[in-house]
Amino acid sequence: MRLNAPDKIIIHHTADSDNRPQFDKINRAHKERTFPLSSLGYYVGYHYLIERDGNITQARKNSDEGAHAVGQNISSIGIGLSGNFDVEWPTVQQKTALTALCTKLFEDLNIPLSEIYNHKDFGDTSCPGKYLDKNTVKWLIVGQEINFINKFKTWLKTFIKI
């Protein structure tokens, strides 16, 4: 397996509306498709999977080659979300988890906000669907930062007149 040098994040959906957790199902399906085994012992091609309840499972180390976007697997972090976002919206818990995960990856890997992509940016697919895309993710992250700044200003006003 080649090492991954991620400089971008690629967002995916599983295109599966099943409400049950999907990690094990994806692991079996990706094993059948002969995806490479990660150093963590999974066949899931994404580095991370976010379930409907917001639970995040890491399937590949950030330094592991991905198996999620042809031509981008040694230069990206793949994040999959359970659901079919061509027909449904991601849950609030998924959006919260995705925002937190992307923010952490930006800090840990020095990836700028401008380097978030949809799977469809690199292939003939609708992934991650019409109800979730890179612009939605960017707005969630910017909104979180604005909310933090406003909370900080409110806290600061208790000590200093602004």
Spell out the domain ranges in the chain.
9-157
pLDDT tens-place string over residues 105-147: 999 999 998 999 999 999 999 999 999 988 888 888 877 655 5
- Helix, strand, coil percent values for the chain (each to nearest 5): 35, 15, 50
pLDDT tens-place string over residues 56-107: 999 999 999 999 999 999 999 999 999 999 999 999 999 999 999 999 999 9
The residue with tokens 């099943």 is 18
Domain 9-157 belongs to what architecture?
A: 3-Layer(aba) Sandwich (3.40)
